A and B are shown apart, each in its own frame.
Chain A
Amino acid sequence: MTILEVQNVSKQFGGLKALQDVCFSVNEGTIFGLMGANGAGKTTLFGVIAGQIRPNGGSISFAGKPLAGQRPDQICRLGLGRTFQIVRPFGNLTVLDNVIVSAMYGAARTHRLADATQAGRRALEDVGLAPLADQLAASLTLSNQKRLEIARALATGARLVLLDEVMAGLTATEVAEMTETLFRLRRERGLTILIIEHVMGALMNLSDRILVLDHGVPIAMGSPEQVVADENVLKVYFG
């Protein structure tokens, strides 16, 4: 069943066409990869889906509801969470408090502190941050702050999460762990994942389907095997 439907989305910044007629749909419970060089428009696409950036054209619907004109907080409450490539932790709050706010305000809207704490702890356990729950978020290492980004998106009670380069800077072992974690989240929470990743191996390994963007234009879409064999992709990536 389709959970996210993106149709003909376009976005221009001044004269720069960041996205042109992007179309794809994501089935519930799948992992969908976004591929492309720097500046291909991947992060812009996330911004458009999550409501931070207003598109110039096209439409997006999530779980059957159109997202046009909705604010980011409204979109989040519909069950769509996101992480930021450049991390944005609530630095002076503890790791646990970071996820508690998420649980209180996100789609779950857990008003009681005890319930929000429980939901928050579960999200921290999912990403392996439970032992650091009482530390200030600002004191975490970058890779742990990336984990916190995921935990915060999970704690909102999202059914679909947009993960923006959460593996950048991780060691090979950590990448393997993170891959395992994402598979487990899909299995246990029935989570749908839309992921941007430069770590190619991980992306191929994780994704059920992949969309390749080049300068804002979709050039290929399909299973990882189809995409790597695609002529356009080969041209862009290997010249």
Chain B
Amino acid sequence: MFQQLLFAAVVSGALYALVALGLNLVYGSLRLLNIAHGDLVMIGAYVAFWSFTLLGISPVVSLATTTVLCAAFGFLVYVVLLKRQLGSPALAQRLEANSLIIFYGLSVILQNGASLAFSATSRGYQFLDGVHSFGGVSATGSMLLLLGVAAAVTLGALAFLRFHVAGWSLLAVIERKDAAAVVGVNVERVQMISICAGFAIAGVAGVLVSMTQQITPFMGFPFTIAAFVVVIMGGLGNIAAGIAAGFVLGFIETFGVALTSATYRSILIYGIFVGVLLLRPQGLFGKAVQAR
């Protein structure tokens, strides 16, 4: 029983870490709080669902299609809504303050668009649902696939940031945008790539979610909140700590629900979210821990 819970916690932790990674990239390099992040997870989930049920395309293939689709959507959002604003400092300052509201509008559009197109019924499909048992844990193939992909993407991102020059310039933009520009980093390009990558990662997470859970047009918001919790706990731009925080949240949620009941799940997530923000009112960027 304990091992089973532990496994469930690891699975949801890996998922949270992945979703939060995308949010971290967008917030880190653009300073925009993407409240529509979870809705991109929803989009990825629907792409996988329809590809599988209508066309018989495996979710593994959908991983690639959603990556491209969501990245393209990120590019569109960047070019249409953000580029001009980010360009001038005065506008960018206002944009930062308004970013949340803009993405809020986007979130409502995506949710209701999906509900209009696909109806609000929850849906699911069966893929790799054969159960494998090892060491007292029973896991479906889809769960193992989820773990594998999530691990590959997060570790890949980690390695990229540590070992690749482009990764360093991304870290530089996250740390000090103005200084990065001075030392020759093309800030605009880094921002564009970050938003594409952030959106794509959310889409990939959506494909993984669709294999293991029921999906609805309104499934995104809890993921947004969970991602915020993870990013706030882990710290901005700190990808490694973000991954750890993802697992912490996965453990708290899984064991919390196991000790009480499923009705407490939302309360637990929102409660942690409110608590974390109240304890760190300076938000994602808080440096209070440093100034001991």
Contact = CB atoms under 8 A, between A and B. Distances in A.
Interface of A: 13-14
B132 interface: no
Contacts, number: 4
A14 B292 CA distance: 5
Interface of B: 290-292
Nearest to A15: B292
A103 B255 CA distance: 57
B150 to A, nearest CB: 37
Nearest to A138: B90
Contacts of A14: 290-292
Contacts of B292: 14
A14 B289 CA distance: 10
A128 to B, nearest CB: 27
A92 to B, nearest CB: 11
Contacts of A13: 291
4 contacts: A13-B291, A14-B290, A14-B291, A14-B292
State the main secondary structure of chain B at its contact with A. loop
A204 B101 CA distance: 52
A44 to B, nearest CB: 13
Contacts of B290: 14
B65 to A, nearest CB: 47
A14 B291 CA distance: 5
A14 B290 CA distance: 8
A162 B197 CA distance: 49
B1 to A, nearest CB: 46
A13 B292 CA distance: 7
A53 to B, nearest CB: 12
A13 B290 CA distance: 10
Nearest to B290: A14
B92 to A, nearest CB: 16
List the 4 shortest-distance A-B pairs measured between CB atoms, nearest first. Answer: A14-B291, A14-B292, A13-B291, A14-B290
B119 to A, nearest CB: 45
A13 B291 CA distance: 6
B290 to A, nearest CB: 7
A236 to B, nearest CB: 27
Nearest to B90: A138
A13 B288 CA distance: 11
Nearest to A16: B291
A86 B30 CA distance: 25
B69 to A, nearest CB: 41
A98 B89 CA distance: 24
A171 to B, nearest CB: 26
A52 to B, nearest CB: 15
Contacts of B291: 13-14
A115 to B, nearest CB: 35
B97 to A, nearest CB: 13
Nearest to A13: B291
B292 to A, nearest CB: 5
Nearest to B291: A14
B98 to A, nearest CB: 15
A73 B291 CA distance: 25
A167 to B, nearest CB: 26
A87 to B, nearest CB: 16
A28 B290 CA distance: 40
A226 B292 CA distance: 39
A45 B292 CA distance: 20
B15 to A, nearest CB: 37
A60 to B, nearest CB: 22
